[in-house]
Amino acid sequence: MRRAIVGASPELLNWRPAGDDTNPLAVLAIHALSSTRWWLSVAITGVAPERDRPAEFRTTVSSAEELRSVADPLSAECRMLLEAQGVFDPSAPRTDPRDGTTVTAAWALIHAVEHLQEHVAHAELTRQVWDHAEARND
């Protein structure tokens, strides 16, 4: 995700590549990291942190530095969760905070990684499309 953001202009960070129903890099970064932190918390601690998911999709930023000022602490929280001491029981039951169903800790962990991977790919593709269009305009 960081590679897609580094050196990005505010226009790129807030650009919706295919119109209003697509997500810009700023949204992808904040949503992906917030979701990852949420699912890692469920997997490792069994407790979902507070989260304002609709606000993630309203994210706009004035610079890459502003985006990193929000993204870096989220990344740090994810790393702390992954580095937590203790035994991880992949079969431990966890409550899916979205609908109250039961999932395993392993499922929540895998879901965190899969979801992050999906949005990192979106961000990389968005950056490639932007960079390609910029190169053609030069």
pLDDT at 11: 97
If you average pLDDT over residues 107-118, what whole number do you get? 98
pLDDT at 137: 81
% of the chain exceeding 70 in pLDDT: 99
Decide if 125 contacts 4 (C-beta within 8 A).
Answer: no
Provide the phi-psi class of 88: left if phi over 0, else alpha when psi is between -120 and 50, else beta. beta
Rounded CA separation 70/25 (Å): 13
- Other beta carbons within 10 angstroms of residue 125's beta carbon come to 12
Sketch out the chain's domains with CATH numbers: 2-137 (1.20.120.450)
Q: Is the pLDDT at 138 greater than 70, yes or no?
A: no
Tokens 């029981």 correspond to: 89
Q: Is the pLDDT at 136 greater than 80, yes or no?
A: yes
In the beta sheet, which residues pair with residue 102? 95
pLDDT tens-digit profile of 36-92? 999 999 999 999 999 999 999 999 999 999 999 999 999 999 999 999 888 899 999
pTM reported for the whole predicted model: 0.93
Is 43 or 136 the better-scoring residue by pLDDT?
43
**Average pLDDT of the residues of the chain:** 95
% of the chain exceeding 90 in pLDDT: 90
27 is written with which tokens? 């949204």
Decide if 96 contacts 104 (C-beta within 8 A).
Answer: no
In the beta sheet, which residues pair with residue 19? 17
- Of the candidate ranges 2-6, 11-15, 29-33, 45-49, the one whose mean pLDDT is the lowest: 2-6
